[in-house]
Amino acid sequence: NQSDRDHFIEHGWVQVSMDLEKLFVEQCYESLKRLKLKAQENNYPLGRIYYPHLFNLNQAAIEAPFKRLLLDDNLVQLFKKIKLGGAIRDLMKWESCGCQLARLFTMNNFNYRGHWHRDSSGWDGNIEGASTVQVSIYLEDQDGFRIWKPEYDYWGNNPIIRSNDIKPFASSDEVLPVRAEQKFFDTIEGKAGSILIFSPGLLHQGSCSSKRLDFHMRFANLSMYEKGSVELD
């Protein structure tokens, strides 16, 4: 609705309910756990590992998780119900959109926190006019995701970030995440049965104090892509 769109334009993110029954959300989460197990049992080749553990695989993500080998009917019905493409078009006022990235995060319970980064380059800081957006789909409560407040980012009225690079802190020690005062960023409390939509050009940081099992997707404005304004990875 319009208040959701206003929140997105002001903050660079918005979290909205998928308006699903609690039981169905719980069933879909069980389906995600089965998907993860199937991928391991079948040696699915599109897995990613960020931080391996000596006695635990700790697979970080499964790329392209929509293979019929992995999905069950619950997850198929989930995407039919939420009409995600239409929601993105309504939010961004796009004529059409395409999914550029589809990933299922699968990190185990190791208190994960990534680096501050951006997922797009060449953006001018115009949230309303962005050519891509990213989506997280939560089927279980998950805290911790952080996104820099637009006011304090490179394009804001009170910027403390002096670069629009993908990794503006690249000159610092990359082994540990950069610490920042909490007033400079929003911390998202992901709620089961909701989706988070955010602008990938804003600085953000994956962070979770427990295990992760959430879809992560990127959508692009196809009309801008056809004009050559968007590069699809």
Confidence of residue 114 (pLDDT cuts 50, 70, 90): confident
Confidence of residue 130 (pLDDT cuts 50, 70, 90): very high
Q: In this predicted model, what pLDDT tens digit does every residue of 167-225 receive, in sequence order?
A: 877 665 544 456 788 999 999 998 999 999 999 999 998 776 667 889 999 999 998 76
Residue 13 in tokens:
């993110």
d(CA 59, CA 41): 13
Per-residue confidence (pLDDT) for residue 175, from 0 to 100: 45
Percent of the chain with pLDDT over 90: 55
Confidence of residue 52 (pLDDT cuts 50, 70, 90): low
Residue 112, pLDDT > 80, answer: no
- Cα of 217 vs its chain's centroid, Å: 6
Residue 42, pLDDT > 60, answer: yes
Per-residue confidence (pLDDT) for residue 208, from 0 to 100: 65
d(CA 231, CA 216): 19
Mean pLDDT of 136-165: 92
**Backbone region of residue 2 per phi and psi (left: phi > 0; alpha: psi in -120 to 50; beta: other values):** alpha
d(CA 15, CA 18): 10
Pairing mode, if any, of strands 132-138 and 194-198?
A: antiparallel
CA angle 77, 214, 164 (to 5 degrees): 125
> Is residue 58 a contact partner of residue 89, using CB atoms and an 8 Å limit?
no
Per-residue confidence (pLDDT) for residue 28, from 0 to 100: 96
Percent of the chain with pLDDT over 70: 83
pTM over cut 0.85: yes
More confident residue, 112 or 161: 161
> Is residue 66 a contact partner of residue 102, using CB atoms and an 8 Å limit?
yes
